[in-house]
């Protein structure tokens, strides 16, 4: 099963760009048949509360060419769950690990739509919990740091936990 985990899942970038693009890819058949979407953020939400936000995001920002039928929306939302995550709380990552149903060969994509100050704590926790082994990839959203020096530090730290081919 392919799993897409979106850190910053309740943020503006997620709402306006990432979730609508993910939905469009889904309705256009560009995602694996066995796909799951996990939103992750600091806010305490139930899966259903997150699904309501996802639906609102899709209605407001997804391409008007995308299939907005009730059937497609319901199918996408059925693949959608939520995990409360504090980047510094190991227990939150253990709960996330329980929600991810992949094997060593299944792709897992962790998309960090967060501020750069959260990149390393998240990746460190993912590594400590064995979540970046196998076919896992990590996407870090720009800007990568506050300046050239902090960008270099982030790059160096990412390589502590990830192989070069896992970083996007």
Strand duo 108-112 + 136-140: pairing: parallel
Strand partners, 5: 38, 110
Q: At what angle do helices 70-78 and 19-27 cross, to 10 degrees?
A: 110
**Predicted pLDDT at 6:** 98
Q: How many angstroms separate the first and last alpha carbons of the chain? A: 21
Instruction: Divide the 168 residues of the chain into consecutive groups of 10 and give the mean pLDDT of each group.
Output: 96 98 95 92 98 98 90 96 97 95 83 95 97 94 89 94 95
Q: Residue ranges of the alpha helices (H) in the chain?
A: 12-13, 19-27, 47-61, 70-78, 90-99, 116-128, 148-161
pTM here is: 0.95
Give every CB contact of residue 124 below 8 A, 6+ residues apart in sequence: 161
């Amino acid at each position: 099963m392919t799993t897409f985990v979106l850190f910053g899942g309740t943020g503006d970038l997620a709402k306006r760009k990432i979730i609508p693009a993910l939905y469009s890819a889904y309705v256009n058949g560009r995602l694996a048949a066995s796909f799951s979407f996990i939103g992750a953020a600091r806010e305490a939400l139930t899966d259903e509360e997150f699904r309501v936000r996802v639906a609102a995001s899709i209605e407001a920002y997804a391409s008007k060419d995308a299939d907005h039928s009730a059937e497609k929306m319901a199918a996408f939302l059925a693949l959608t769950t939520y995990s409360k995550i504090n980047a510094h709380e190991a227990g939150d990552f253990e709960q996330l690990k329980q929600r991810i149903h992949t094997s060593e060969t299944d792709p897992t994509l962790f998309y960090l739509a967060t501020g750069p100050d959260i990149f390393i704590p998240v990746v460190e926790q993912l590594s400590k919990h064995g979540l970046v082994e196998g076919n896992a990839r990590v996407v870090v959203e720009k800007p990568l740091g506050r300046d050239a020096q902090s960008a270099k530090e982030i790059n160096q730290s990412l390589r502590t936990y990830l192989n070069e081919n896992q970083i996007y």
